[in-house]
Amino acid sequence: MSVKKSHLLSGGVTLQAVARAAGVTIATASRSLNDAYGVHPATRARVLQVAKKLNYTPNRFARGLVTGRSDMIGLIVSDVRNSYFAEVARGVEDAALEAGRDVMLCNSDMNSARQMKSIVSLLDKRAEAIIMNSVAALSRDDQQQIAAAGVPIVLLNRAGRDGTFSTVCADNEKGGRLAAECLLRNGHRNVIHLTGPKSHANLARRSQAFVKAMSAQRGTKVCTVHAIHTLQGGYGAAQEIFRSMNGATAIFTGNDVMAFGVMRAAIEAGIRIPRDISLIGFDDVELAAMSFPPLTTIHQPKYSVGRAALEIVKELLESGTETPRHRVLDVQLVERASVAKISR
């Protein structure tokens, strides 16, 4: 019955049927359908026409069995519900569609066991490449096993030479610098930088560049505060901060959700943004444009990250190369209404 189903799927039309109807052997039929060379134009045209009329669609299993190709690529993200990854996924899918490929989506929950399970399943299904935001805890063993599969791997949000795998990420350093420049330009000299745990590499890069750019200007003061990088974390930290501002006129948060936490704490404390204090975030999540006031932030090219990852996959697949490629994508300042110009 399953076999019968399979017939239904392809409309029951096999290459054999097409060949017969076109008066050739399956060999020429196959060649006509695939390469342009080595088959008489007239024959080719006839086969194509017949195939179309019969509504022929090749059996992927049969083809895959001999070519080894599946035309599918795997995408593993921690969670699509995270809008960052939803954007990335969309970028990957759009680029994949253009490249005639489908994408298999997996969620890892930042759980290395689940991630490994997904990888195995994707490899099992013959994914031709895997794009993923790897969790840190990928054992040496797993890493080798993955590399051994000989399938291109593209890591998301990882800067530079990660060894064996390709990477795509946003220019966090530039983002940090842009935030500093924005604040400086608006006259802020005494600012607070609220960020996540030091272990978070991307956040750390932003912080470092931010502090460096601020310090480049004389008479500047930056006070860095670490908290959990969530809305709650930002909220809690802001409550503390508001108790003793020490003359700070602006806050730069490592990401937007922390900024939203700051906003909430500000409302509750009767502090108005940007009148009493300016605020600038990082990421440019959807909500940033809808908050009140709309948040000035650094735009991360999430969608482009997805596209870029698939482009790397395509390059790797086409060239047959194994040497990893690396891309860092540009970010930019999006000025909305949460940063005020202050007079000195």
- Per CB under 8 A, residues contacting its own copies are 1-6, 8-9, 11, 57, 59-62, 64-72, 75, 79-81, 83, 86-87, 89-90, 93-94, 97, 102-107, 117-118, 120-126, 148-151, 231, 260, 263-264, 267, 287, 290, 292, 320
Q: Please tell me the distance from the alpha carbon of residue 344 to that of residue 217, in angstroms, as a whole number.
A: 15
Judged by beta carbon distances under 5 to 8 A according to partner kind, the member of its own copies, DNA, none in contact with residue 319 is none
Compute the least distance from the CB of residue 2 to DNA, in Å.
6
Distances 138 to 74, 182, 313 between C-alpha atoms, Å: 17, 38, 21
Judged by beta carbon distances under 5 to 8 A according to partner kind, the member of DNA, its own copies, none in contact with residue 292 is its own copies
Compute the least distance from the CB of residue 19 to its own copies, in Å.
19
Binding DNA (rule: CB under 7 A), the pick from 49, 55, 67, 319 is: 67
Judged by beta carbon distances under 5 to 8 A according to partner kind, the member of its own copies, DNA, none in contact with residue 71 is its own copies
Compute the least distance from the CB of residue 67 to DNA, in Å.
5
Q: Note whether 217 and 190 are within 8 A (CB).
A: no
Q: Please tell me the distance from the alpha carbon of residue 131 to that of residue 73, in angstroms, as a whole number.
A: 8
- Dump the DSSP string for 118-159: HHHHHHHTT-S-EEE---S---HHHHHHHHHTT--EEEES--
Distances 39 to 43, 46, 51, 54, 242 between C-alpha atoms, Å: 7, 11, 16, 21, 77
Q: Please tell me the distance from the alpha carbon of residue 176 to that of residue 237, in angstroms, as a whole number.
A: 20
Q: Note whether 186 and 172 are within 8 A (CB).
A: no
Judged by beta carbon distances under 5 to 8 A according to partner kind, the member of DNA, its own copies, none in contact with residue 56 is DNA
Omega of the bond leading into 293 within 30 degrees of 0 (cis): yes
Using the minimum distance from each CB to its own copies, give the nearer residue, 28 or 107.
107
100 binds DNA (CB under 7 A): no
Contacts of 280 (CB under 8 A, 6+ apart): 179, 182, 183, 250, 251, 252, 253, 259, 295, 296, 297, 298, 338, 339
Judged by beta carbon distances under 5 to 8 A according to partner kind, the member of its own copies, DNA, none in contact with residue 277 is none
> Strand, coil or helix: what is 298?
strand
Contacts of 12 (CB under 8 A, 6+ apart): none
Contacts of 38 (CB under 8 A, 6+ apart): 31
SS3 content of the chain, % helix, strand, coil (to 5): 45, 15, 35
CA triple 189-191-193, angle to 5 deg:
145
> Per-residue contact track with DNA, 41 to 60, x per CB under 7 A?
xxxx-----------x-xx-
Judged by beta carbon distances under 5 to 8 A according to partner kind, the member of DNA, its own copies, none in contact with residue 94 is its own copies
Compute the least distance from the CB of residue 37 to DNA, in Å.
6
Using the minimum distance from each CB to its own copies, give the nearer residue, 36 or 66.
66
Judged by beta carbon distances under 5 to 8 A according to partner kind, the member of its own copies, DNA, none in contact with residue 122 is its own copies
Using the minimum distance from each CB to its own copies, give the nearer residue, 20 or 63.
63
Using the minimum distance from each CB to DNA, give the nearer residue, 38 or 247.
38
Compute the least distance from the CB of residue 267 to its own copies, in Å.
6
Binding DNA (rule: CB under 7 A), the pick from 5, 8, 38, 320 is: 38
Omega of the bond leading into 274 within 30 degrees of 0 (cis): yes
Judged by beta carbon distances under 5 to 8 A according to partner kind, the member of its own copies, DNA, none in contact with residue 299 is none
> Which residues of the shown chain bind DNA in the complex (CB under 7 A)?
2-3, 6-7, 10, 13-16, 23-28, 30-31, 33-34, 37-44, 56, 58-59, 62-63, 65-67
